Chains A and B, each alone.
Chain A
Amino acid sequence: MNVTYFIFFIVIVIGTLVITHWAAERSKTAHQFYVAAGSLSGMQNGMAIAGDFISAASFLGITGLVAFYGYDGFLYATGFLMSYVILSLLIVEPIHRLGTYSVADVIAARFPSNKMRAVVAISGICISVLYMIPQLVASGLLIRLLLGVDFKIAVCVIGILMTVYVVFGGMLATSWVQIIKTVLLMGGTLLVVFIVLSWVEWDFVGLMNEAIQQSPYGTSYFQPGNLFKHPIEKVSLILTLILGTSGLPHILLRFLTVKNTKQARLSAMSASWIIGLFYLMTLILGIGTIALVESEVLLQADASGNLAALLLAEVVGGDFLIAFVMAVAFATIIAVVTGLVFAATSSFAHDIYFYLWKQKRVDEKKQLQIARMVAGMIGILSILISMKMETSNVAFLVSLTFAIAASTLFPLLVLTFYWERYNAVGAYTTIITGFIVSLTLVVIGSEGYGLVQLANPGILSIPASFAGGVIGTITGKKDEHSYQHLLRKMYSEKQEAAPYD
């Protein structure tokens, strides 16, 4: 292992552990543990959301996709960005007003039965864990690729780190790890972008021409159709990406960590700015990669394109820059998986243990203790599962996660917030239809057994879950009070200062 690489890794690990130590001293109450006592400002929270959201797959993967496929690769990125419009328009404010510690709190505000809470909590945990495992596996593969260490060791190191952050630091450590990751990622990417531009004497048009010349697609590099041959596939993917984000519990949870709805909207806005700028920079990086790195080298290193950014860094900056970019990628991985562990933990400890199992009859100390234990268990469990999945197709799991999120939690939230006639039966049918349809389609789709030529089931499963919700609502009995009840809860001034501390 290269000394330079190693030093940078150590810096990231120590830096984040210091933050965790600092946060651990402040995570004494459940309120502090679950939502950092609402102490983050909108800007900080926006950075944390971006940190939660931009995975290593976006940083390294999108650069590679742009390098390989040009326009279509960038289209992928726009899907991620656009999802924030939906999120901040439809979801952020009600979530902030209704939620205390978890997404199930929000739904329980309208349908306060334990069964409903259980269903929402379980689907939340499913989504988080389903998303966490491919992230862990991918990061293990990545670390193996970058540092040459064994896959299992890589997964273990990342898994243990993420567990430590959550167990000791709670939401505060998670948030700060994510904020620092965002700063590093944005700063690092910007630096590499400038170096790339200086390499071509600040001539961006020249760089684009060079890219066209180097790309195997030639002039069609900047035109659609290189990655997605099928228009339906394209629409389905983008739809899933756009709507799926609003159904990811670890993103939704982040809106509970700010003081008021204004800050919550501000955080969604700053997050979308950061994410937007970031994807613009990956576009430049991708173009730079294809222009400056020889395409044989690119293909040889990793056919999926994950090493594109690193190869670019090697060309323009040598070992030092590679080490820095790797450290950024490492921080990125850690921040995302930490957020996921946290989401699964809060769902389990708050909804299942505190509400369903103990019927709220647990004191705060015990509650925190259990939350920490659950975090530890989820961490260990995901490490064990991920270690077994070295050779399996994790892209399958990612598309499954997004499909499930987009067709269960997202329709459930939208219908709960905005449809007066909606009732508990409808809520159950929404979740169940969405879950079954998306699962079936992924399994029989081209990522699964290949019975149907559809890799992304969103285009079918999302409408199906909405339809399921409507049918369920109509067959169920009318319940008009729940919506008025919800509105009252939402707009009667929520206490800004939390009563817990």
Chain B
Amino acid sequence: MIDLTIVLFERISLLLLAAFMLAQIPGFRSLLDRDITLDTVIYLALVFGSIGILGIHIGVLIHIDTIELESRFTEVSSNEVLIGFSMVVVMIAGLLGGPYVGFGTGIITGIYLAFIGGDAWIANSFIHPLAGLMTGWTGRFFSDERVIAPGKALFIGMFPPILHMGLLLMFIPDQEKGIELVNTIGIPLVITNAVALAIFTMVIRAALNETEREAAIETNRALSIAEKALPILQDASLISNADKLAKLLYEELDVAAIAITDKQKVLTHVGLGDDHHRLGEPLKMKLSHKALATGDIQLAYDREEIRCRVHTCPLKTAIMIPIYRSGEIIGLINLYFRHSQQIRAVEVELAKGLGTIISNQISGFEAERMKELLKEAEIRNLQAQINPHFLFNTFNLLHSLLRVNQEKARHILIQLSHYMRANLTIASKSLIPLKDELLHVNAYVEIVTARFMDQLVIHKEIDLGVEDVLIPPATLQPLIENCVQHGVKDQQRKGRIDLIISREGEWVFLEVRDNGKGFSDDLLTLLGAEPVEPSNGNGTALYNINERLKGVCGVASQLHFSNLPVNGSSVSFKILVSTKERNEDAGDDCRG
């Protein structure tokens, strides 16, 4: 029995070799993708049928009287039984193509076997279509994968040979001989057929699925990371959540360590080497700077490139992924590995995908936030346009001026119209020239100073050549309004507001000062970071301005709040003179 099993295995390995080569042909794979229509069934049945005929010819002959093997044959005489391997092919056809393909293949091989003849030709021809149907149905019943799992194939593959034995018992004329034959070949055939079927499916699965599966797994992983990263990225800047993000990535990815950096320093390091890779270290790797500069993924393949000063550091290779926000690089995610062999094409692709997804998410949230803020500004402007108090007061002012000073009244009326027009236009743009913003400021200042004639002085110191610098609309005017409302209004002495705009190299510095009561200490820490409780009017004004500045011009442009040494407070910010295009990109993103 063991000898026979070994002989059968030897033969069947030839068939598996052929199958393996067949599975490497690209056309063969696409064959399996097609929907099963009548012509594909016939086509597949023909293909498998011819392989099945090959399988028949690598089989062995058994003399029914002596139960002896004959390894090569040309024809089968009446007291010999042919043990071919066509059944494996029929079963695989059934498993891959479904019951109809299996049946078709079985019919072809069955007819061929009937012509070859031999003692068991009825059983042999009968079992093949039956085996095709059986494996087809049971395969569908147990699994809906494209190619069935080898374990299941092994199990399913046991039964057609058993049935075959049953048929041999039924159809071999000499029943005693039939029993002897089945006892000899039964177990070897069952084992070899089932194992061959399992290996066959394994080969095809491997050929077919490896790339698909890996891609699927990696996609799945990237998606799951993206999903989990969503809440982390949602609520604030990358910097404050770097730790959480790094931990998440470390858990999800199979890497030695994760570091997240901004453009200058390491923000967090999780995983191996965290004893000496500390937070706040400046970026050492040349490749990091390259990644930041070019925006492309960089790979460090050896310790030299990582530049770790600790010699025992386990981290040998790294992938550096640049992270963008609204088209601007804001930092890196570094994936560290122990060995360079661990970086396969898959890892690089995953890193790329991850970088894109995280960047897109950050930008997406940023855009959403910007949209919110723009909406706020719009609403605020709408409010300003119809701010009844302001209008009333201005009309009252005009009313009294018309009696005493018509010229002044005319002037104020013009300023009011400027002010209203500015309010109307600014909502639709994300950046306007500074001169337009100053017109807006001037109009407001004129009206206000006319109203508080003796109580308020507004000084402006503006450097030359800054008129065309672009600035988010409605930034200066509300700052001044804020000074009037909160800083100066209820003071006993004369209010003074300074607007200072100066240029230093690439930057334009803008500052608004007043001599009022200043910010209270607890307020100072909150200002700009979050909306404050509105005590009077719109409590979110400063916060909104700050967010818009950061969003449109970058973090460097955020508002700075301080109290002056004696009395009063200062609010200042800076914007870049030259990078006009970048700002416009950002503006596009914001609107999107």
A contact residues vs B (CB 8 Å cutoff): 3-4, 7, 11, 15, 18, 187, 191-192, 194-195, 198-199, 316-321, 324
Task: Indicate which residue in B170, B187, B190, B191 contacts A195 across the interface (CB closer than 8 Å).
Answer: B170
Q: In the complex, are the beta carbons of A198 and B183 less than 8 A apart?
A: no
Q: In the complex, are the beta carbons of A15 and B179 less than 8 A apart?
A: no
Check B186 for interface membership: any CB of A closer than 8 A: yes
Q: In the complex, are the beta carbons of A7 and B169 less than 8 A apart?
A: no
B162 closest partner in A (C-beta): A324
Given contacts A318-B179, A321-B182, 11 further A-B contacts (CB under 8 A): A4-B187, A7-B190, A7-B191, A18-B155, A191-B162, A199-B175, A316-B175, A317-B169, A317-B182, A319-B186, A320-B187
Q: In the complex, are the beta carbons of B191 and A318 less than 8 A apart?
A: no
- Find chain A residues with CB under 8 A from B162 CB: 191, 324
Bound CA–CA A195/B166 (angstroms):
7
Contact with A along B136-153 (1 / 0, CB 8 A): 000000000000000110
Check B158 for interface membership: any CB of A closer than 8 A: yes
Bound CA–CA A124/B186 (angstroms):
45
Considering only residues 165-194 of chain B, those with a C-beta below 8 Å from chain A are 165-166, 169-171, 175, 179-180, 182-183, 186-187, 190-191
Check B159 for interface membership: any CB of A closer than 8 A: yes
- Find chain B residues with CB under 8 A from A18 CB: 151-152, 155
Bound CA–CA A289/B182 (angstroms):
21
Q: In the complex, are the beta carbons of A191 and B183 less than 8 A apart?
A: no
Contacts A3-B1, A11-B158, A18-B155 given; indicate if A195 touches B169 (C-beta within 8 A).
yes
Considering only residues 109-144 of chain B, those with a C-beta below 8 Å from chain A are none
Check B207 for interface membership: any CB of A closer than 8 A: no
Contacts A7-B191, A11-B158, A18-B151 given; indicate if A198 touches B169 (C-beta within 8 A).
yes
B170 closest partner in A (C-beta): A198
- Find chain B residues with CB under 8 A from A324 CB: 162
Q: In the complex, are the beta carbons of B187 and A7 less than 8 A apart?
A: yes
Q: In the complex, are the beta carbons of A198 and B171 less than 8 A apart?
A: yes
Q: What's the minimum C-beta distance from A476 to chain B, rounded to whole angstroms? A: 51
Bound CA–CA A187/B166 (angstroms):
11
Q: In the complex, are the beta carbons of B169 and A15 less than 8 A apart?
A: no
A11 closest partner in B (C-beta): B158
Q: In the complex, are the beta carbons of B182 and A320 less than 8 A apart?
A: yes
Q: In the complex, are the beta carbons of A15 and B155 less than 8 A apart?
A: yes
Q: In the complex, are the beta carbons of B166 and A317 less than 8 A apart?
A: yes
Q: In the complex, are the beta carbons of A321 and B169 less than 8 A apart?
A: yes
Bound CA–CA A318/B179 (angstroms):
5
Q: How many residues of B contact A (CB 8 A)?
A: 22
B contact residues vs A (CB 8 Å cutoff): 1, 151-152, 155, 158-159, 162-163, 165-166, 169-171, 175, 179-180, 182-183, 186-187, 190-191
Enumerate the 5 nearest inter-chain pairs by beta-carbon distance, A residue then B residue, closest first. A320-B186, A198-B170, A318-B179, A191-B166, A318-B183
Give the most central of A3, A198, A318, A324: most B CB within 10 Å.
A318
Q: In the complex, are the beta carbons of B151 and A194 less than 8 A apart?
A: no
Task: Indicate which residue in B169, B190, B191 contacts A316 across the interface (CB closer than 8 Å).
Answer: B169
Bound CA–CA A324/B161 (angstroms):
12
B194 closest partner in A (C-beta): A11
B155 closest partner in A (C-beta): A15
Bound CA–CA A461/B159 (angstroms):
46
Q: What's the minimum C-beta distance from B62 to chain A, rounded to whole angstroms? A: 15
- Find chain B residues with CB under 8 A from A3 CB: 1, 187
Q: In the complex, are the beta carbons of A194 and B170 less than 8 A apart?
A: yes
- Find chain A residues with CB under 8 A from B182 CB: 317-318, 320-321
Contacts A194-B170, A199-B175 given; indicate if A318 touches B187 (C-beta within 8 A).
no
Q: In the complex, are the beta carbons of B183 and A319 less than 8 A apart?
A: yes
- Find chain B residues with CB under 8 A from A317 CB: 165-166, 169, 179, 182
Q: What's the minimum C-beta distance from A270 to chain B, rounded to whole angstroms? A: 15
Q: What's the minimum C-beta distance from A276 to chain B, rounded to whole angstroms? A: 22
Bound CA–CA A318/B159 (angstroms):
18
Bound CA–CA A317/B183 (angstroms):
8
- Find chain B residues with CB under 8 A from A318 CB: 179-180, 182-183
Contacts A195-B170, A199-B175 given; indicate if A320 touches B159 (C-beta within 8 A).
no
A195 closest partner in B (C-beta): B169
Please list 7 pairs of residues, one from A and one from B, whose beta carbons are closer than 8 Å in the complex, sorted by A's number.
Answer: A3-B187, A18-B151, A187-B163, A198-B169, A199-B175, A320-B183, A320-B186
Q: What's the minimum C-beta distance from B120 to chain A, rounded to whole angstroms? A: 13
Bound CA–CA A194/B168 (angstroms):
11
- Find chain A residues with CB under 8 A from B155 CB: 11, 15, 18
- Find chain A residues with CB under 8 A from B1 CB: 3
- Find chain A residues with CB under 8 A from B186 CB: 4, 319-320
Q: In the complex, are the beta carbons of A321 and B166 less than 8 A apart?
A: yes
- Find chain B residues with CB under 8 A from A11 CB: 155, 158
B158 closest partner in A (C-beta): A11
- Find chain A residues with CB under 8 A from B152 CB: 18
A4 closest partner in B (C-beta): B187
Bound CA–CA A37/B330 (angstroms):
49
B151 closest partner in A (C-beta): A18
Q: In the complex, are the beta carbons of A187 and B151 less than 8 A apart?
A: no
Bound CA–CA A199/B175 (angstroms):
8
Bound CA–CA A317/B151 (angstroms):
28
Q: What's the minimum C-beta distance from B124 to chain A, rounded to whole angstroms? A: 15
A15 closest partner in B (C-beta): B155
A197 closest partner in B (C-beta): B170
Bound CA–CA A364/B166 (angstroms):
49
Q: In the complex, are the beta carbons of B169 and A187 less than 8 A apart?
A: no
Task: Indicate which residue in B159, B165, B179, B190 contacts A187 across the interface (CB closer than 8 Å).
Answer: B159
- Find chain B residues with CB under 8 A from A4 CB: 183, 186-187
B2 closest partner in A (C-beta): A3
- Find chain A residues with CB under 8 A from B163 CB: 187, 191
Q: What's the minimum C-beta distance from B109 to chain A, rounded to whole angstroms? A: 21
Contacts A3-B1, A7-B187, A11-B158 given; indicate if A320 touches B165 (C-beta within 8 A).
yes
Bound CA–CA A317/B170 (angstroms):
9
Bound CA–CA A234/B4 (angstroms):
54
Bound CA–CA A199/B172 (angstroms):
10
Q: What's the minimum C-beta distance from A173 to chain B, rounded to whole angstroms? A: 14
Q: What's the minimum C-beta distance from A169 to chain B, rounded to whole angstroms? A: 15
Bound CA–CA A317/B162 (angstroms):
12
- Find chain B residues with CB under 8 A from A15 CB: 155
- Find chain A residues with CB under 8 A from B171 CB: 198
- Find chain B residues with CB under 8 A from A321 CB: 165-166, 169, 182
Q: What's the minimum C-beta distance from A455 to chain B, rounded to whole angstroms? A: 39
B179 closest partner in A (C-beta): A318
Bound CA–CA A195/B187 (angstroms):
18
Q: In the complex, are the beta carbons of A194 and B187 less than 8 A apart?
A: no
Bound CA–CA A192/B170 (angstroms):
10
- Find chain B residues with CB under 8 A from A187 CB: 159, 163
Q: What's the minimum C-beta distance from A185 to chain B, rounded to whole angstroms? A: 13
Bound CA–CA A445/B357 (angstroms):
79
- Find chain B residues with CB under 8 A from A198 CB: 169-171
Bound CA–CA A321/B191 (angstroms):
15
Q: What's the minimum C-beta distance from A196 to chain B, rounded to whole angstroms? A: 9
Bound CA–CA A7/B163 (angstroms):
17
Bound CA–CA A321/B171 (angstroms):
15
Bound CA–CA A3/B190 (angstroms):
13
Give the most central of A194, A195, A317: most B CB within 10 Å.
A317
Q: In the complex, are the beta carbons of B183 and A194 less than 8 A apart?
A: no
- Find chain B residues with CB under 8 A from A319 CB: 183, 186
Bound CA–CA A198/B170 (angstroms):
5
Q: In the complex, are the beta carbons of B166 and A194 less than 8 A apart?
A: yes
Bound CA–CA A18/B158 (angstroms):
15
Q: What's the minimum C-beta distance from B149 to chain A, rounded to whole angstroms? A: 9
A7 closest partner in B (C-beta): B187
- Find chain A residues with CB under 8 A from B158 CB: 11
- Find chain B residues with CB under 8 A from A195 CB: 166, 169-170
Bound CA–CA A187/B131 (angstroms):
13
A199 closest partner in B (C-beta): B175
Bound CA–CA A372/B409 (angstroms):
90
- Find chain A residues with CB under 8 A from B169 CB: 195, 198, 316-317, 321
Bound CA–CA A18/B143 (angstroms):
13
B163 closest partner in A (C-beta): A191
A198 closest partner in B (C-beta): B170
